[in-house]
Structure 1
Amino acid sequence: MADEQSGWTGGQRAFGEFAPGLVHYTDDVLFDEVWERDDLSKRDRGLVTVAALTALGKTDQLRFHLDFARQNGVTDQELKEAILHLAFYTGWPNGMAAMTVLKDITTNENN
């Protein structure tokens, strides 16, 4: 685990005082403890998370995690290839939905 906390505040920004328990587990446990563990790189954690969210069809969270994976070194081409591969294992509709989210992210970035 990292010596310093990441200072992640996504849960706080999303929910503030509305859901303090969810804020705590999101910011302090998930992003400050789990994501900072040394046994997997953030890049690898990003790919694993994209795979899980694609498999589950969770496109709201996938939108964030595709971008987060990119910030952690996963290329757009690698994400396209991962999603294509996942489509065969997670179901074609989940693959199509995930690719649509990635296309939207990359297209909006270029406009």
Structure 2
Amino acid sequence: MNDRIESKIPKKMRDKAPDFVDYGKNILFEKVWRNPALTLKERSLITLSALISIGNTEQLPFHLQLAEKHGMNEKEMIALITHMAFYVGWPKATAALNIILEK
């Protein structure tokens, strides 16, 4: 499995906020995500949980794709969302479920 994390950073963001892009690329995805205390699949599970908890649907498609790359299947993602519905609220879980079902 290729575990390199590639994100599509808009050119405008790369041009106007290069430090922000650098921190995300080199600190978050190269250092934090590489800490061997957790697997990439576990990190994806945690990240999806956090994004769903705060209702951040903008970042969900990227992280759902990344979770799939890290070994999570659609059944596991749906189970995660179903479980979270009871803790973070039905509307947030429904929004996340709709994004999974649109892929």
Moved segments of 4+, more than 4 Å: none
For residues 9 and 40 of structure 1, what CA distance do their matches in structure 2 show? 19
- TM-score where L is the length of structure 1: 0.83
| Kept in 2: contact 1:53–1:62 (CA 8 A) | yes
| Kept in 2: contact 1:50–1:62 (CA 8 A) | yes
- TM-score where L is the length of structure 2: 0.89
Q: 1:10: Cα distance to partner?
A: 2.6
Listed as ranges, the gaps of 5+ residues in structure 1 are 1-5, 106-111
Aligned residue pairs total 98
Structure with the bigger RCO (C-alpha within 8 Å, sep 6+) is 2
Match of 1:109? none
CA deviation vs aligned residue, 1:88-109 (integer Å, no higher than 9, x gap)? 101000000000011112xxxx
Q: How does 1:1-111 map to 2 (within 5 A)?
A: 6=4, 8=5, 10=7, 13-14=9-10, 15-105=13-103
Change in 2 beyond 3 A, CA 1:21/1:58: same
For residues 45 and 35 of structure 2, what CA distance do their matches in structure 1 show? 15
Percent of aligned positions with the same letter in both sequences? 35
For residues 84 and 72 of structure 1, what CA distance do their matches in structure 2 show? 20
Q: Alignment partner of 1:16: what SS?
A: helix
| AA aligned opposite 1:23 | V
For residues 28 and 53 of structure 1, what CA distance do their matches in structure 2 show? 21
For residues 44 and 77 of structure 2, what CA distance do their matches in structure 1 show? 10
Match of 1:3? none
Change in 2 beyond 3 A, CA 1:19/1:9: farther
Q: 1:16: Cα distance to partner?
A: 1.6
